Structure 1
Amino acid sequence: MTKTVLITGCSSGFGQATARRFVASGWNVVATMRNVTSAGDLNGQSNIFVTRLDVQDPASVAKAIEQAIDRFGHIDTLINNAGFGLHGVFETILPEKVQEQFDVNVFGMMTVTRALLPHFRARRAGTIVNVSSGAGVFTLPLISLYCASKFALEGFSEALTYELAPLGIAVKLVEPGGSLSTNFGSRSRAEGASFTVPSDYHPIVEDAGRRFQGLMEVATATADDVADVIYKAATDGSDQLRYIATKDIEPWVRARRETSEAEYIKTMRDAFMAKPIGGT
Protein backbone atom coordinates (compact mmCIF):
# COMPACT_ATOMS: atom_id res chain seq x y z
CA MET A 1 0.00 0.00 0.00
CA THR A 2 1.36 3.42 -0.95
CA LYS A 3 2.15 5.50 2.10
CA THR A 4 0.69 8.96 2.67
CA VAL A 5 2.23 12.01 4.31
CA LEU A 6 0.48 15.22 5.37
CA ILE A 7 2.75 18.27 5.42
CA THR A 8 1.90 21.73 6.75
CA GLY A 9 3.34 24.95 5.36
CA CYS A 10 3.94 23.73 1.79
CA SER A 11 3.67 27.08 0.02
CA SER A 12 7.45 27.61 0.14
CA GLY A 13 10.75 26.66 1.74
CA PHE A 14 11.19 23.43 3.64
CA GLY A 15 7.55 22.42 3.28
CA GLN A 16 7.50 22.67 -0.49
CA ALA A 17 10.87 20.93 -0.82
CA THR A 18 9.70 18.16 1.50
CA ALA A 19 6.53 17.62 -0.53
CA ARG A 20 8.65 17.14 -3.65
CA ARG A 21 11.02 14.79 -1.79
CA PHE A 22 8.23 12.48 -0.68
CA VAL A 23 6.60 12.50 -4.12
CA ALA A 24 9.92 11.55 -5.70
CA SER A 25 10.03 8.55 -3.35
CA GLY A 26 6.59 7.33 -4.39
CA TRP A 27 4.48 8.61 -1.51
CA ASN A 28 1.05 10.16 -1.66
CA VAL A 29 1.44 13.73 -0.41
CA VAL A 30 -1.17 15.95 1.21
CA ALA A 31 0.42 19.37 0.68
CA THR A 32 -1.33 21.88 2.92
CA MET A 33 -1.01 25.65 3.19
CA ARG A 34 -3.03 28.69 4.22
CA ASN A 35 -3.44 29.92 0.65
CA VAL A 36 -3.68 27.20 -2.00
CA THR A 37 -2.97 29.70 -4.78
CA SER A 38 0.66 29.49 -3.61
CA ALA A 39 0.91 25.79 -4.47
CA GLY A 40 2.66 26.37 -7.80
CA ASP A 41 3.78 23.18 -9.51
CA LEU A 42 2.58 21.01 -6.62
CA ASN A 43 -0.81 21.14 -8.33
CA GLY A 44 -1.81 18.74 -11.07
CA GLN A 45 -0.03 15.55 -9.96
CA SER A 46 -2.08 12.46 -9.21
CA ASN A 47 -0.27 11.62 -5.99
CA ILE A 48 -0.33 15.17 -4.58
CA PHE A 49 -3.46 16.54 -2.97
CA VAL A 50 -3.21 20.28 -2.32
CA THR A 51 -5.65 21.62 0.25
CA ARG A 52 -6.07 24.51 2.63
CA LEU A 53 -4.94 24.13 6.23
CA ASP A 54 -4.34 27.05 8.55
CA VAL A 55 -2.86 25.84 11.83
CA GLN A 56 -4.65 28.73 13.59
CA ASP A 57 -8.03 27.51 12.29
CA PRO A 58 -9.06 24.17 13.87
CA ALA A 59 -11.95 23.77 11.44
CA SER A 60 -9.57 23.90 8.48
CA VAL A 61 -7.32 21.34 10.18
CA ALA A 62 -10.19 18.89 10.69
CA LYS A 63 -11.41 19.37 7.13
CA ALA A 64 -7.97 18.87 5.60
CA ILE A 65 -7.46 15.61 7.51
CA GLU A 66 -10.91 14.36 6.53
CA GLN A 67 -10.27 15.22 2.87
CA ALA A 68 -6.88 13.53 2.96
CA ILE A 69 -8.28 10.27 4.33
CA ASP A 70 -11.13 10.38 1.82
CA ARG A 71 -8.61 10.84 -1.00
CA PHE A 72 -5.91 8.34 -0.03
CA GLY A 73 -7.60 6.12 2.58
CA HIS A 74 -5.10 6.72 5.37
CA ILE A 75 -2.29 8.94 6.64
CA ASP A 76 1.00 7.41 7.76
CA THR A 77 3.10 10.45 8.58
CA LEU A 78 2.58 14.04 9.72
CA ILE A 79 5.21 16.70 9.06
CA ASN A 80 4.56 19.75 11.24
CA ASN A 81 6.50 22.31 9.23
CA ALA A 82 4.37 25.48 9.30
CA GLY A 83 5.99 28.29 11.28
CA PHE A 84 7.47 31.74 11.19
CA GLY A 85 10.08 33.74 13.08
CA LEU A 86 9.95 37.03 14.92
CA HIS A 87 13.15 39.07 14.72
CA GLY A 88 13.64 42.06 17.00
CA VAL A 89 14.22 43.42 20.48
CA PHE A 90 11.79 41.72 22.86
CA GLU A 91 10.75 44.96 24.59
CA THR A 92 9.51 46.39 21.29
CA ILE A 93 7.43 43.46 20.04
CA LEU A 94 3.69 43.93 20.40
CA PRO A 95 1.82 41.44 22.62
CA GLU A 96 -0.38 40.35 19.72
CA LYS A 97 2.72 39.39 17.74
CA VAL A 98 4.04 37.42 20.71
CA GLN A 99 0.72 35.56 20.80
CA GLU A 100 0.87 34.91 17.07
CA GLN A 101 4.39 33.48 17.36
CA PHE A 102 3.14 30.84 19.79
CA ASP A 103 -0.21 30.37 18.04
CA VAL A 104 1.57 29.27 14.87
CA ASN A 105 4.78 27.60 16.07
CA VAL A 106 3.41 25.86 19.17
CA PHE A 107 -0.37 25.83 19.57
CA GLY A 108 -1.01 25.36 15.84
CA MET A 109 1.36 22.41 15.73
CA MET A 110 -0.45 20.94 18.75
CA THR A 111 -3.83 21.45 17.06
CA VAL A 112 -2.77 19.50 13.96
CA THR A 113 -1.14 16.76 16.03
CA ARG A 114 -4.16 16.35 18.29
CA ALA A 115 -6.52 16.17 15.33
CA LEU A 116 -4.55 13.37 13.67
CA LEU A 117 -3.79 11.26 16.74
CA PRO A 118 -7.12 9.35 16.77
CA HIS A 119 -6.35 8.13 13.23
CA PHE A 120 -2.86 7.04 14.25
CA ARG A 121 -4.14 5.36 17.43
CA ALA A 122 -6.75 3.41 15.51
CA ARG A 123 -4.05 2.10 13.18
CA ARG A 124 -1.50 1.61 15.99
CA ALA A 125 1.01 3.27 13.69
CA GLY A 126 2.15 6.70 12.60
CA THR A 127 5.09 9.06 12.58
CA ILE A 128 5.12 12.72 13.60
CA VAL A 129 8.06 14.83 12.43
CA ASN A 130 8.21 18.28 14.01
CA VAL A 131 10.44 20.79 12.24
CA SER A 132 12.29 22.63 14.97
CA SER A 133 15.41 24.79 14.61
CA GLY A 134 18.88 25.30 15.94
CA ALA A 135 17.08 28.05 17.86
CA GLY A 136 15.34 25.27 19.76
CA VAL A 137 18.72 24.05 21.03
CA PHE A 138 20.69 27.26 21.65
CA THR A 139 19.65 30.91 21.78
CA LEU A 140 20.64 34.01 19.85
CA PRO A 141 20.01 37.73 20.35
CA LEU A 142 16.99 39.36 18.68
CA ILE A 143 15.07 36.12 18.22
CA SER A 144 14.10 35.50 21.84
CA LEU A 145 10.46 34.75 20.99
CA TYR A 146 11.31 32.44 18.13
CA CYS A 147 13.75 30.62 20.43
CA ALA A 148 11.06 30.39 23.11
CA SER A 149 8.59 28.86 20.67
CA LYS A 150 11.09 26.31 19.39
CA PHE A 151 12.26 25.41 22.91
CA ALA A 152 8.59 24.75 23.69
CA LEU A 153 8.30 22.59 20.58
CA GLU A 154 11.36 20.59 21.60
CA GLY A 155 10.12 19.96 25.13
CA PHE A 156 6.63 19.03 23.96
CA SER A 157 7.94 16.63 21.32
CA GLU A 158 10.34 14.87 23.68
CA ALA A 159 7.65 14.38 26.32
CA LEU A 160 5.14 13.21 23.72
CA THR A 161 7.41 10.35 22.70
CA TYR A 162 6.82 8.69 26.08
CA GLU A 163 3.05 8.80 25.60
CA LEU A 164 2.92 7.69 21.98
CA ALA A 165 5.72 5.14 21.52
CA PRO A 166 3.75 2.40 23.35
CA LEU A 167 0.95 2.97 20.81
CA GLY A 168 3.25 2.47 17.84
CA ILE A 169 3.49 6.20 17.07
CA ALA A 170 6.94 7.75 16.62
CA VAL A 171 7.85 11.39 17.24
CA LYS A 172 10.89 12.98 15.59
CA LEU A 173 12.53 16.42 15.71
CA VAL A 174 14.45 17.92 12.79
CA GLU A 175 16.72 20.86 13.64
CA PRO A 176 17.82 23.03 10.68
CA GLY A 177 19.84 26.21 10.76
CA GLY A 178 20.55 28.61 7.93
CA SER A 179 19.39 27.77 4.42
CA LEU A 180 20.42 29.39 1.17
CA SER A 181 17.19 28.69 -0.70
CA THR A 182 14.44 29.98 1.58
CA ASN A 183 13.33 33.50 2.43
CA PHE A 184 12.65 32.67 6.08
CA GLY A 185 15.34 35.02 7.41
CA SER A 186 14.29 37.96 5.28
CA ARG A 187 10.65 37.50 6.31
CA SER A 188 11.67 37.40 9.96
CA ARG A 189 13.73 40.58 9.67
CA ALA A 190 10.87 42.32 7.84
CA GLU A 191 8.60 41.53 10.79
CA GLY A 192 11.11 43.11 13.18
CA ALA A 193 11.61 46.20 11.04
CA SER A 194 8.07 47.32 11.82
CA PHE A 195 8.86 47.81 15.53
CA THR A 196 10.26 51.04 16.93
CA VAL A 197 13.54 50.36 18.74
CA PRO A 198 14.73 52.69 21.55
CA SER A 199 18.14 54.20 20.85
CA ASP A 200 19.65 52.34 23.83
CA TYR A 201 19.35 49.16 21.79
CA HIS A 202 20.83 50.49 18.53
CA PRO A 203 24.43 49.35 19.18
CA ILE A 204 23.17 45.92 20.26
CA VAL A 205 21.02 45.56 17.16
CA GLU A 206 23.88 46.63 14.88
CA ASP A 207 26.28 44.21 16.56
CA ALA A 208 23.79 41.35 16.31
CA GLY A 209 23.18 42.16 12.66
CA ARG A 210 26.88 41.73 11.91
CA ARG A 211 26.96 38.45 13.77
CA PHE A 212 23.89 37.13 11.93
CA GLN A 213 25.51 38.09 8.64
CA GLY A 214 28.54 36.06 9.66
CA LEU A 215 26.33 33.05 10.34
CA MET A 216 24.69 33.33 6.92
CA GLU A 217 28.09 33.44 5.25
CA VAL A 218 28.89 29.94 6.51
CA ALA A 219 25.47 28.47 5.64
CA THR A 220 25.70 25.99 2.77
CA ALA A 221 22.48 23.96 3.06
CA THR A 222 19.48 24.29 0.78
CA ALA A 223 15.82 23.53 1.40
CA ASP A 224 16.33 20.28 -0.52
CA ASP A 225 19.09 19.26 1.90
CA VAL A 226 16.75 19.82 4.85
CA ALA A 227 13.98 17.92 3.05
CA ASP A 228 16.33 14.94 2.75
CA VAL A 229 16.83 14.93 6.52
CA ILE A 230 13.08 15.25 7.14
CA TYR A 231 12.53 12.28 4.84
CA LYS A 232 15.18 10.27 6.67
CA ALA A 233 13.63 11.05 10.05
CA ALA A 234 10.24 9.94 8.78
CA THR A 235 11.40 6.70 7.20
CA ASP A 236 14.48 5.31 8.94
CA GLY A 237 12.43 3.22 11.37
CA SER A 238 14.72 4.08 14.28
CA ASP A 239 13.87 5.42 17.72
CA GLN A 240 16.18 8.42 17.20
CA LEU A 241 14.49 11.60 18.40
CA ARG A 242 16.63 14.49 17.10
CA TYR A 243 18.20 15.05 13.68
CA ILE A 244 20.55 17.97 12.93
CA ALA A 245 19.70 19.09 9.41
CA THR A 246 22.42 21.63 8.51
CA LYS A 247 26.13 21.62 9.21
CA ASP A 248 26.32 25.32 10.12
CA ILE A 249 24.71 24.75 13.52
CA GLU A 250 26.75 21.71 14.51
CA PRO A 251 29.37 23.68 16.55
CA TRP A 252 26.66 25.42 18.58
CA VAL A 253 24.72 22.20 19.13
CA ARG A 254 27.91 20.49 20.35
CA ALA A 255 28.57 23.42 22.68
CA ARG A 256 25.07 23.01 24.15
CA ARG A 257 25.00 19.24 24.41
CA GLU A 258 28.60 18.16 24.87
CA THR A 259 30.15 20.76 27.21
CA SER A 260 29.46 21.99 30.71
CA GLU A 261 26.91 24.71 31.34
CA ALA A 262 29.67 27.19 32.19
CA GLU A 263 31.59 26.41 29.00
CA TYR A 264 28.48 26.67 26.88
CA ILE A 265 27.41 30.04 28.30
CA LYS A 266 30.92 31.46 27.85
CA THR A 267 31.09 30.20 24.27
CA MET A 268 27.76 31.74 23.33
CA ARG A 269 28.36 35.04 25.13
CA ASP A 270 31.75 35.42 23.48
CA ALA A 271 30.22 34.72 20.09
CA PHE A 272 26.95 36.61 20.23
CA MET A 273 26.72 39.08 23.12
CA ALA A 274 27.69 42.70 22.54
CA LYS A 275 30.06 44.38 24.96
CA PRO A 276 28.45 46.39 27.80
CA ILE A 277 27.43 49.85 26.64
CA GLY A 278 27.79 51.48 30.02
CA GLY A 279 25.59 52.65 32.87
CA THR A 280 25.44 54.32 36.24
Structure 2
Amino acid sequence: MTRTRWTDYDWQLIHTEPQSPLMHLALDEVLLNEVAAGRRAPTVRIWEWSAPAIILGIFQSVKNEVDMQAAQRFGVQVVRRISGGGAMFVEPGSAITYSIYAPKALIAGMSFQEAYADMDAFTLEALKTMGIEAWYQPLNDITSADGKIGGAAQAHRGGGVLHHVTMAYDMDADKMVGVLRIGREKLSDKGTKSAKKRVDPLRRQTGLAREVILDRMIETFRQRYGLQAGALTAGELQAANQLIIEKFDTPAWLNKVP
Protein backbone atom coordinates (compact mmCIF):
# COMPACT_ATOMS: atom_id res chain seq x y z
CA MET A 1 0.00 0.00 0.00
CA THR A 2 1.35 3.42 -1.00
CA ARG A 3 1.29 5.99 1.77
CA THR A 4 -0.93 8.99 1.15
CA ARG A 5 -0.55 12.53 2.49
CA TRP A 6 -2.88 14.41 4.81
CA THR A 7 -3.42 17.04 2.13
CA ASP A 8 -4.63 14.37 -0.33
CA TYR A 9 -7.99 14.36 1.47
CA ASP A 10 -10.89 16.74 2.00
CA TRP A 11 -11.10 16.63 5.78
CA GLN A 12 -14.42 17.21 7.54
CA LEU A 13 -14.98 18.50 11.07
CA ILE A 14 -17.83 17.26 13.27
CA HIS A 15 -18.40 19.14 16.52
CA THR A 16 -21.92 18.63 17.82
CA GLU A 17 -23.84 19.22 21.02
CA PRO A 18 -22.91 17.02 24.01
CA GLN A 19 -23.58 13.30 23.54
CA SER A 20 -23.91 10.42 25.97
CA PRO A 21 -20.83 8.25 26.57
CA LEU A 22 -22.51 5.33 24.78
CA MET A 23 -23.31 7.47 21.74
CA HIS A 24 -19.71 8.63 21.50
CA LEU A 25 -18.44 5.06 21.45
CA ALA A 26 -21.05 3.94 18.92
CA LEU A 27 -20.26 6.91 16.66
CA ASP A 28 -16.58 5.95 16.72
CA GLU A 29 -17.39 2.52 15.29
CA VAL A 30 -19.91 3.82 12.76
CA LEU A 31 -17.68 6.60 11.43
CA LEU A 32 -14.64 4.32 11.28
CA ASN A 33 -16.66 1.86 9.18
CA GLU A 34 -17.98 4.63 6.92
CA VAL A 35 -14.51 6.05 6.22
CA ALA A 36 -13.05 2.56 5.74
CA ALA A 37 -15.76 1.81 3.17
CA GLY A 38 -15.21 5.10 1.35
CA ARG A 39 -18.72 6.37 2.10
CA ARG A 40 -17.47 9.27 4.23
CA ALA A 41 -14.56 11.65 3.76
CA PRO A 42 -11.79 11.49 6.37
CA THR A 43 -13.15 13.18 9.46
CA VAL A 44 -12.10 14.83 12.72
CA ARG A 45 -14.70 14.69 15.50
CA ILE A 46 -14.57 16.76 18.69
CA TRP A 47 -16.36 15.09 21.60
CA GLU A 48 -18.58 16.97 24.04
CA TRP A 49 -19.67 14.93 27.06
CA SER A 50 -23.22 15.06 28.46
CA ALA A 51 -22.41 12.94 31.52
CA PRO A 52 -19.40 11.68 33.52
CA ALA A 53 -17.95 8.33 32.50
CA ILE A 54 -15.14 5.84 32.78
CA ILE A 55 -14.16 4.54 29.36
CA LEU A 56 -12.33 1.24 29.43
CA GLY A 57 -9.98 0.02 26.71
CA ILE A 58 -11.14 -3.09 24.90
CA PHE A 59 -8.62 -5.36 26.66
CA GLN A 60 -9.07 -4.01 30.20
CA SER A 61 -10.62 -5.82 33.14
CA VAL A 62 -13.61 -4.14 34.80
CA LYS A 63 -12.54 -5.44 38.22
CA ASN A 64 -8.96 -4.29 37.74
CA GLU A 65 -9.83 -0.77 36.70
CA VAL A 66 -13.08 0.35 38.30
CA ASP A 67 -14.56 0.62 41.79
CA MET A 68 -18.12 -0.01 40.63
CA GLN A 69 -19.68 0.97 43.96
CA ALA A 70 -17.90 4.31 43.90
CA ALA A 71 -18.85 4.83 40.25
CA GLN A 72 -22.52 4.26 41.08
CA ARG A 73 -22.28 6.55 44.10
CA PHE A 74 -20.82 9.36 42.00
CA GLY A 75 -23.19 8.73 39.08
CA VAL A 76 -20.34 7.79 36.74
CA GLN A 77 -21.25 5.48 33.86
CA VAL A 78 -18.78 2.71 32.99
CA VAL A 79 -18.46 1.87 29.28
CA ARG A 80 -16.04 0.03 26.98
CA ARG A 81 -14.60 1.34 23.70
CA ILE A 82 -13.35 -0.55 20.62
CA SER A 83 -9.72 0.58 20.93
CA GLY A 84 -6.94 -0.49 23.27
CA GLY A 85 -5.13 1.65 25.80
CA GLY A 86 -5.94 2.61 29.36
CA ALA A 87 -9.02 3.69 31.27
CA MET A 88 -10.16 7.31 30.98
CA PHE A 89 -12.21 9.29 33.47
CA VAL A 90 -14.13 12.25 32.03
CA GLU A 91 -16.72 14.76 33.15
CA PRO A 92 -18.46 17.43 31.06
CA GLY A 93 -16.01 20.26 30.48
CA SER A 94 -13.11 18.42 32.14
CA ALA A 95 -11.40 16.92 29.10
CA ILE A 96 -10.55 17.52 25.46
CA THR A 97 -11.38 14.43 23.42
CA TYR A 98 -11.17 14.02 19.65
CA SER A 99 -11.25 11.24 17.08
CA ILE A 100 -9.64 11.06 13.66
CA TYR A 101 -11.15 8.64 11.11
CA ALA A 102 -8.81 8.14 8.17
CA PRO A 103 -7.92 5.71 5.39
CA LYS A 104 -5.23 3.32 6.54
CA ALA A 105 -3.13 4.45 3.57
CA LEU A 106 -2.36 7.61 5.57
CA ILE A 107 -0.11 5.59 7.90
CA ALA A 108 1.00 2.88 5.45
CA GLY A 109 4.44 1.52 6.29
CA MET A 110 4.63 3.28 9.65
CA SER A 111 5.37 1.58 12.95
CA PHE A 112 2.74 1.93 15.66
CA GLN A 113 4.90 4.53 17.37
CA GLU A 114 5.33 6.53 14.16
CA ALA A 115 1.61 6.33 13.37
CA TYR A 116 0.56 7.61 16.79
CA ALA A 117 2.98 10.53 16.64
CA ASP A 118 2.00 11.42 13.09
CA MET A 119 -1.73 11.46 13.89
CA ASP A 120 -1.18 13.90 16.76
CA ALA A 121 1.47 16.15 15.22
CA PHE A 122 -1.08 18.95 14.85
CA THR A 123 -1.93 18.71 18.56
CA LEU A 124 1.70 19.03 19.64
CA GLU A 125 2.07 22.03 17.33
CA ALA A 126 -1.07 23.66 18.74
CA LEU A 127 0.10 23.08 22.31
CA LYS A 128 3.47 24.64 21.46
CA THR A 129 1.74 27.84 20.30
CA MET A 130 0.10 27.97 23.74
CA GLY A 131 3.39 27.66 25.59
CA ILE A 132 3.43 23.90 26.21
CA GLU A 133 6.43 21.94 24.97
CA ALA A 134 4.76 18.56 24.64
CA TRP A 135 6.03 15.31 23.15
CA TYR A 136 5.06 11.68 22.70
CA GLN A 137 6.06 9.25 25.43
CA PRO A 138 5.95 5.92 23.58
CA LEU A 139 3.70 4.33 22.88
CA ASN A 140 0.67 6.51 23.39
CA ASP A 141 1.09 9.24 26.02
CA ILE A 142 1.24 12.98 25.35
CA THR A 143 3.38 14.54 28.05
CA SER A 144 5.27 17.67 29.03
CA ALA A 145 7.92 18.57 31.59
CA ASP A 146 5.09 19.14 34.11
CA GLY A 147 3.55 15.69 33.66
CA LYS A 148 1.22 13.61 31.52
CA ILE A 149 -1.35 15.57 29.51
CA GLY A 150 -3.27 12.80 27.80
CA GLY A 151 -3.28 9.48 26.04
CA ALA A 152 -4.14 8.08 22.62
CA ALA A 153 -5.58 4.81 21.34
CA GLN A 154 -6.24 3.31 17.92
CA ALA A 155 -8.45 0.76 16.22
CA HIS A 156 -8.05 -0.53 12.67
CA ARG A 157 -10.98 -1.78 10.61
CA GLY A 158 -10.60 -2.89 7.00
CA GLY A 159 -9.08 0.02 5.13
CA GLY A 160 -9.64 2.52 7.93
CA VAL A 161 -7.97 3.67 11.13
CA LEU A 162 -9.53 5.31 14.19
CA HIS A 163 -7.22 7.41 16.32
CA HIS A 164 -8.62 9.11 19.38
CA VAL A 165 -7.13 11.16 22.19
CA THR A 166 -8.29 12.38 25.58
CA MET A 167 -6.37 15.18 27.29
CA ALA A 168 -7.08 16.36 30.83
CA TYR A 169 -8.29 19.95 31.05
CA ASP A 170 -9.61 20.34 34.60
CA MET A 171 -9.95 16.94 36.28
CA ASP A 172 -11.49 16.26 39.69
CA ALA A 173 -8.51 14.23 40.88
CA ASP A 174 -10.17 13.03 44.10
CA LYS A 175 -13.17 11.67 42.21
CA MET A 176 -10.95 10.11 39.56
CA VAL A 177 -8.91 8.24 42.15
CA GLY A 178 -12.14 7.27 43.91
CA VAL A 179 -13.69 5.55 40.91
CA LEU A 180 -10.54 4.22 39.21
CA ARG A 181 -8.42 1.59 40.93
CA ILE A 182 -5.23 3.49 40.15
CA GLY A 183 -2.34 1.81 41.90
CA ARG A 184 -4.59 -0.58 43.84
CA GLU A 185 -3.93 -4.26 44.25
CA LYS A 186 -4.61 -6.27 41.13
CA LEU A 187 -7.91 -8.11 41.45
CA SER A 188 -7.97 -10.16 38.27
CA ASP A 189 -5.35 -11.96 36.21
CA LYS A 190 -7.25 -11.13 33.04
CA GLY A 191 -6.88 -7.97 31.03
CA THR A 192 -4.44 -5.09 31.06
CA LYS A 193 -3.65 -3.29 34.30
CA SER A 194 -3.19 0.46 33.98
CA ALA A 195 -0.01 1.96 35.37
CA LYS A 196 -0.35 4.81 37.81
CA LYS A 197 0.42 7.95 35.86
CA ARG A 198 0.33 11.59 36.78
CA VAL A 199 -2.28 13.55 34.86
CA ASP A 200 -1.59 17.27 34.54
CA PRO A 201 -4.54 19.43 33.46
CA LEU A 202 -4.23 21.76 30.50
CA ARG A 203 -6.07 24.49 32.38
CA ARG A 204 -3.16 24.96 34.80
CA GLN A 205 -0.48 24.71 32.12
CA THR A 206 -2.07 27.17 29.71
CA GLY A 207 -4.35 29.37 31.82
CA LEU A 208 -6.74 29.32 28.85
CA ALA A 209 -10.41 28.40 28.59
CA ARG A 210 -11.13 24.95 27.18
CA GLU A 211 -12.89 26.49 24.16
CA VAL A 212 -9.81 28.58 23.36
CA ILE A 213 -7.60 25.49 23.37
CA LEU A 214 -10.05 23.61 21.14
CA ASP A 215 -10.24 26.51 18.70
CA ARG A 216 -6.44 26.64 18.49
CA MET A 217 -6.26 22.90 17.80
CA ILE A 218 -8.91 23.07 15.09
CA GLU A 219 -7.26 26.06 13.44
CA THR A 220 -3.86 24.34 13.54
CA PHE A 221 -5.33 21.26 11.83
CA ARG A 222 -7.02 23.49 9.24
CA GLN A 223 -3.79 25.33 8.44
CA ARG A 224 -1.79 22.12 8.10
CA TYR A 225 -4.22 19.93 6.19
CA GLY A 226 -7.41 21.82 5.32
CA LEU A 227 -10.70 21.32 7.15
CA GLN A 228 -14.33 21.96 6.27
CA ALA A 229 -17.44 21.89 8.44
CA GLY A 230 -19.26 18.56 8.30
CA ALA A 231 -22.25 16.89 9.94
CA LEU A 232 -23.49 13.50 11.02
CA THR A 233 -25.99 11.97 8.65
CA ALA A 234 -29.36 10.55 9.69
CA GLY A 235 -28.11 7.13 8.66
CA GLU A 236 -25.00 7.38 10.82
CA LEU A 237 -27.06 8.42 13.86
CA GLN A 238 -29.50 5.58 13.25
CA ALA A 239 -26.66 3.07 12.96
CA ALA A 240 -25.08 4.40 16.17
CA ASN A 241 -28.34 4.10 18.10
CA GLN A 242 -28.69 0.50 16.88
CA LEU A 243 -25.13 -0.29 17.95
CA ILE A 244 -25.86 1.05 21.43
CA ILE A 245 -28.78 -1.36 21.77
CA GLU A 246 -27.04 -4.36 20.25
CA LYS A 247 -23.52 -3.89 21.63
CA PHE A 248 -22.31 -0.98 23.71
CA ASP A 249 -25.12 -0.96 26.30
CA THR A 250 -25.04 -4.72 26.90
CA PRO A 251 -23.53 -6.50 29.93
CA ALA A 252 -21.75 -8.88 27.55
CA TRP A 253 -19.76 -6.03 25.96
CA LEU A 254 -19.02 -4.18 29.19
CA ASN A 255 -17.86 -7.40 30.86
CA LYS A 256 -15.92 -8.62 27.83
CA VAL A 257 -13.01 -8.85 30.29
CA PRO A 258 -14.55 -9.23 33.79
Shared fold by TM > 0.5?
A: no
Rg larger for: 1
- Relative to its length, the structure with more helix (as a share) is 1
- Relative to its length, the structure with more strand (as a share) is 2
TM-score, scaled to structure 2: 0.31
TM-score, scaled to structure 1: 0.29
Which protein, 1 or 2, shows the higher relative CO under an 8 Å CA cutoff with sep ≥ 6? 2
